[in-house]
Amino acid sequence: MKLAGRVVIITGGGHGLGRDLALGFADAGADLSLCGTDVAALESTAAELQARGRLVVARKVDVADEALVERWVTDTLEELGRIDVLVNNAGITGPTASIDRVSRVEWDHTLAINLTGAFLCARAVLPHMAARGSGKIINISSVAGHIGYALRAPYAVSKWGMLGLTRTLAVEWGKHNIQVNAISPGSVSGERLERVIRERAAKSGVPESEVRREYTSKAVLDRFVPPEHVAAMAVFLASELGDSITGEFLQVAGGFNLG
């Protein structure tokens, strides 16, 4: 139980990768605070965590809403007493379209959730972590934050921005013994990826099977990434074994674009 006695807060923690992250931290002994916008998913995941013996706070929060983020962090401190780790996982896929067909509303909404939300959550927890003299922030970026990504400009820009935020926070807050890192997953198996494949196939006129093959062929392991592998990396970074790692971008991507 590497994280027994620790409190981990996860944005977008109700379903998809967020759920797998929460289960991974719970199995490592941490208590958890989750936020998201899907109440049913939050309640379901919270029940799974409680069945594992963990204390859980779950709140409906749009991470782009400053007041809701601050309230969630305050509630967590009041109910669980501390925050050791923040995982900025909340994110949306954004539109699938060439840049000339992306609306200002779509652009702003994608960056508000994927990047501004991470800034707001980090800003809310950092004073508490600094006062305690330790803390971890783990930002979930993407391999899309390392490449040009046709038809997904807002998403790619938000993930590139997450890397800049990661490195800047690491430099600013290292003196307080706070480590800040980013995990860049490749194509993580699950419903979200299947939705992306369907949308890309529809926009490009290419069969879904070919789009799926396009995604797997970019990784030298020639397969999608199981979400529990991303969760395992997050647990490692959150543990004492990750105490000397900061400002890094760690790809869990099956060797994406190495071939």
Computed over every residue of the chain, the mean pLDDT equals 96
Among this protein's residues, is 155 annotated catalytic? Answer: yes
- Look at residue 258 and tell me whether its pLDDT is greater than 90: no
Average pLDDT over residues 237-242: 97
Query: Confidence class of residue 204 from pLDDT cuts 50, 70 and 90?
Result: confident
The catalytic residue among 72, 119, 155, 256 is 155
Mean pLDDT of 108-129: 98
Is domain 7-188+226-252 given the CATH code 3.60.20.10 in the classification?
no
Flag whether pLDDT at 245 surpasses 90. Answer: yes
Q: Looking up tokens 């099956």, which residue turns up? A: 254
Banded model confidence at residue 45, pLDDT cuts 50, 70, 90 = very high
- Report whether pLDDT(178) > 80: yes
Note the pLDDT of residue 200. Answer: 87
CA distance 49 to 54: 6
Region 81-103: mean pLDDT is 97
Locate the domains of the chain by residue range: 7-188+226-252
pLDDT in tens, 144-170: 999 999 999 999 999 999 999 999 999
